[in-house]
């Protein structure tokens, strides 16, 4: 079953997030700067409401939790994880595992009430680095794009119908004892993992032959970044961020934008996923986003257009961080010394 013909001109950019996040206002501010004509929407809670002030529309996601499918999800959901799974998020690992599924039920109800069909959605730690409307025509032959190395529904979502089918499949999966037993067996051998919404999406695509395209695929010299910390197929920065995180080597131009190089060829990154990135890098990339729209983006065809971004931590900040680490280690040793 495929999605019907859809109207793409007014597709908003939708983020959903629970709990506080220091970077969230930067995310929303960059989306507003690079896409001034679009609706920028945050489905959030009281802990992050102020992040939307002046840059995005805010809707409490709990206002969209009363639907029939949401009620059924609350009944059938269960945490399925390996015994060594320790992915820590606000509220604890079980709250996080529940939310990564539940958010799609909340999004579905929001889309219905707001009469939205197609839309864009990204992880809340993603900087949007370009206008998205001119890129929407690239995805007319697919139902949605994927990110997370092709494993999650992210980027362009072509229709409300697709979300409805996805949530219906989730309910079926959580109501299928044989499927859940197979997940438990899988996690005995992969004890550091958990059954999450990406696993559900993979099964959904398999069962219903969903037509997708990886957003990270290079089209017309551009791609949506899965994560700066995913450096495969791209030139890698010579120095890991904070001395431990390998990242793509990236460039900008005097008029903004971000590029990485694959096989020596510049690829414009339309978004940058900033997972695991420190604050100082957020500030550098947000500055690159702020330039977009003030003047035309320079092409990379002429020599000298690209200027490499220094990803190294500022020296003073590095000294402070290392001093804080020494103090932290010393405090941990105090009970033993006593």
Question: pLDDT tens for residues 60-106?
Answer: 999 999 989 999 999 999 999 998 887 767 778 889 999 999 999 99
> Of 168, 194, 214, which one is at a domain's C-terminal end?
214
Prediction pTM value: 0.90
Query: How would you classify the pairing of strands 222-224 and 265-273?
Result: parallel
Whether residues 148 and 265 share a domain: the answer is no
Closest CA to 151 of 191, 203, 101: 203
Buried b (16+ CB within 10 A) or exposed e, 214-235: bbbeeeeebbbbbbbbbbeebe
pLDDT at 175 > cutoff 50: yes
Whether residues 37 and 85 share a domain: the answer is yes
pLDDT at 301 > cutoff 60: no
Rounded to whole angstroms, how far apart are CA atoms 164 and 312? 44
Whether residues 120 and 177 share a domain: the answer is yes
Whether residues 115 and 192 share a domain: the answer is yes
pLDDT confidence band for 137 (50 / 70 / 90): very high
Whether residues 120 and 210 share a domain: the answer is yes
Helix, strand, coil % over all residues of the chain, rounded to 5: 40, 20, 40
pLDDT confidence band for 28 (50 / 70 / 90): very high
> Of 192, 214, 236, which one is at a domain's C-terminal end?
214
- What residue numbers bound the domain in which 140 lies? 13-214
Whether residues 187 and 305 share a domain: the answer is no
pLDDT confidence band for 295 (50 / 70 / 90): low
Q: What is the pLDDT of residues 185-198, one digit of tens each?
A: 999 999 999 999 99
Confirm whether 101 is domain-assigned: yes
Whether residues 144 and 198 share a domain: the answer is yes
Rg (CA), the chain: 21
Q: What is the CATH number of the domain that holds 44?
A: 3.90.550
Confirm whether 1 is domain-assigned: no
Domain tally for the chain?
A: 2
> Of 214, 231, 256, which one is at a domain's C-terminal end?
214
């Amino acid at each position: 079953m495929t999605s019907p013909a859809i109207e793409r001109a007014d597709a908003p950019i939708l983020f959903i997030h629970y709990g506080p996040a220091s970077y969230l206002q930067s995310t929303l501010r960059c989306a507003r700067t690079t896409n001034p004509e679009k609706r920028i929407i945050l489905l959030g809670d009281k802990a992050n409401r102020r992040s939307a002030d002046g840059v995005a529309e805010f809707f409490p996601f709990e206002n969209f939790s009363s639907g029939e499918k949401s009620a059924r999800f609350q009944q059938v959901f269960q945490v399925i994880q390996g015994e060594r799974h320790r992915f820590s998020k606000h509220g604890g690992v079980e709250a996080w595992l529940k939310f990564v599924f539940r958010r799609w039920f909340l999004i579905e109800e929001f889309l219905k009430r707001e009469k939205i069909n197609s839309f864009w959605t990204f992880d809340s730690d993603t900087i949007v680095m370009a206008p998205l409307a001119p890129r929407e025509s690239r995805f007319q032959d697919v139902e949605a794009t994927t990110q997370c190395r092709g494993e999650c529904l992210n980027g362009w979502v072509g229709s409300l119908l697709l979300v409805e089918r996805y949530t219906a499949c989730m309910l079926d999966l959580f109501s299928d004892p044989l499927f859940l037993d197979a997940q438990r067996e899988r996690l005995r051998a992969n004890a550091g993992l958990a059954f999450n919404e990406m696993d559900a999406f993979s099964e959904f695509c398999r069962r219903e032959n969903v037509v997708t395209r990886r957003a990270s695929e290079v089209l017309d010299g551009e791609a949506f970044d899965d994560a700066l910390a995913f450096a495969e197929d791209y030139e890698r920065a010579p120095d890991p961020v904070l001395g431990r995180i390998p990242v793509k080597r990236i460039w900008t131009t005097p008029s903004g934008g971000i590029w990485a190089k694959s096989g020596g060829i510049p690829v414009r990154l339309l978004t940058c996923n900033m997972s695991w990135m420190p604050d100082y890098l957020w500030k550098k990339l947000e500055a690159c986003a702020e330039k977009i729209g003030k003047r035309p983006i320079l092409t990379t065809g002429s020599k000298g257009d690209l200027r490499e971004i220094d990803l190294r931590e500022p020296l003073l900040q590095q000294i402070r961080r290392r001093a804080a680490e020494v103090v932290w280690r010393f405090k941990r040793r105090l009970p033993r010394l006593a």
